[in-house]
Amino acid sequence: MDTSKIPLGELAWKNILAHVVEHGDASETNYLEVKSDLNLGSALGIAKVAKFLLGSANRLPSHAAKFFQGYSVMVIGAEKGQALGTVKGVEPHDVEATLRKYLGSDFPHFDFGRISVSQTHEVILVIASPPENGQPIFVCHKDFQGESKQDNLTDGAIYVRDGSSTRPAKSGEIKALLHRSTTSNRPALNLTIEATPINRVEDIKVLVNDTYQFEEEEFLESQRKRKEPVVGFPQLSFATTMALVGYRPPEKQYADWKTDLPDHKVETERALLEIAFPAFRVQITANGRYVSKPHLRVTFFNCSMFDRYDLEYPSYGSLFEPILQEPTGIMQDFPVIQANSNYRPNEEEWSQIDNDVVVTFTPDSLRPDQPFASADDITLIANNPNAETIQVRWTLTEDKNDQAVTDEFELATGALMSRDTLLRLIGNPADYVYTPAEATNDQ
């Protein structure tokens, strides 16, 4: 069933009926209700149709517009597996006159559709018009007491659609409808969100773990080969050695390195990803209208984010924190931990929430059809390297408008970068081997 089209005309009605016969009650939504047997000549039948129409009229335009271009439909005389219909002979103008007692004289227009299923029976469709901004709240104008409480109608009550049913409105829903009544019928919020492909990489954590393990094993092996500790430079007197700025015994440097190893691994992974992939960027376009003080929250599901750094030495050896620092009198700078020099504006905020990445944009405005782009200081990685798409959800609100617009789409991932490809980008791990200055002078 194509819900992008207006549900008017016999072809559209037959498509809807076929969908109901195939799926039965499971086809019911906030824009489609199904009644297998409803007598429109009875008070109960009229009350149920009135309740459906009242709930349909009290929808928010932006939500309703997603399906059937805002229309909603009640199908009478069908169920899963069959469409027996209801007895012919009901006149639409008689039904409408009776419905108006519940709906009121100012209620929006609605239509009836008919599909004949036999000489004596027909399926009836009640088609409610799309809600519009600027419309008042539509209240019930007459009481009805049914055998079941859920069939009751109350004079003065406000009814809304909730999934596949209609119920009395809650305070927040009434507030939203009041806002609808004071909102001009300007174009609905409509965004286009584009982004660069989300990166995928194979076994980067394994690569980092294996390399640090290799470095540690090489260090321990070099220490075992020595008759006395060596700090990576020709043997000096104790006084001369202690005079060097920043001197620490190898055992102390190793202990500190081991303590900080989890942090080193995170920073190394972050730097490797920066070398391997370009920055992730998001571009937002407000289609056709001005958005004042937007608050846009975009969630990239099952992804991880890493801040980017301006690495001065993007080579394999500089990306892994060494166990021993060169005793040159000045402690060696580790390029990976340099502060990020990129400027992230206050109007965007990135965060990692469990397995998802969330970015919130709060620019002063979005101008019609003029793209707004994020800063390029984030690397985004799919948690599942085999994922071909990533699910994305966005929610937008604007100044002086309590109505939130939400949508979802899928974003393609980039080509999977293998471990071998990553190694070729940054050098061969065999080139990075722990070799203190005197390692070749072992006796």
Query: 137-172 pLDDT, tens per residue?
Result: 999 999 999 888 888 999 999 999 988 889 999 999
Considering its fold, how many domains does the chain have in total? 2
- One-letter amino acid identity for 144? F
Q: How many CB atoms lie within 10 A of CB 74?
A: 22
Q: Is the pLDDT of residue 239 over 70?
A: no
64, 31 in Cβ contact below 8 A? yes
Closest CA to 305 of 383, 372, 421: 383
Cα separation, 160 vs 53, in Å, equals 9
Final residue of a structural domain among 185, 205, 231:
185
Same-domain check for residues 127 and 102: yes
Q: Is the pLDDT of residue 292 over 80?
A: yes
Of the CA atoms within 13 Å of residue 417, those in its CB half-sphere come to 21
User: Where residue 339 falls among pLDDT bands split at 50, 70, 90?
Assistant: very low
Final residue of a structural domain among 133, 164, 185:
185
β-bridge pairing 356-361 and 389-398:
unpaired
Whole-number Cα distances in Å, 180 to 111, 141, 188: 23, 21, 12
Same-domain check for residues 203 and 325: yes
Same-domain check for residues 157 and 290: no
Cα separation, 361 vs 369, in Å, equals 17
Cα separation, 361 vs 297, in Å, equals 6
Closest CA to 146 of 36, 48, 35, 33: 48
Q: Is the pLDDT of residue 275 over 80?
A: no
Q: Is residue 368 part of a domain?
A: yes
Whole-number Cα distances in Å, 355 to 119, 198, 273, 382, 384: 60, 15, 18, 10, 11
pTM greater than 0.75: no
Q: Is residue 311 part of a domain?
A: yes
Residues 55-66 have a mean pLDDT of 92
176's enclosing H/E stretch is helix 171-182
Of the CA atoms within 13 Å of residue 408, those in its CB half-sphere come to 6
Same-domain check for residues 214 and 296: yes
Helix (H, G, I), strand (E, B) or coil at 332: coil
Same-domain check for residues 258 and 333: yes
Same-domain check for residues 180 and 197: no
294, 371 in Cβ contact below 8 A? no
R_g of the chain computed on alpha carbons: 34
Final residue of a structural domain among 185, 213, 243:
185
Q: How many CB atoms lie within 10 A of CB 11?
A: 9
- DSSP secondary-structure letter at 41? T
Give the pLDDT score at 183: 77
Q: Is the pLDDT of residue 434 over 70?
A: no
- 232: containing domain: 193-441
Same-domain check for residues 198 and 176: no
Same-domain check for residues 223 and 144: no
Give the pLDDT score at 317: 56
Over residues 365-375, the pLDDT tens digits come to 888 888 999 98
Over residues 64-100, the pLDDT tens digits come to 999 999 999 999 999 999 999 899 888 888 899 999 9
Mean pLDDT, the chain, whole residue set: 81
Q: Is residue 3 part of a domain?
A: no
Residues 191-216 have a mean pLDDT of 85
Question: Which tops the pLDDT comparison, 402 or 85?
Answer: 85
Q: Is the pLDDT of residue 215 over 50?
A: yes
- One-letter amino acid identity for 11? L
425's enclosing H/E stretch is helix 419-426
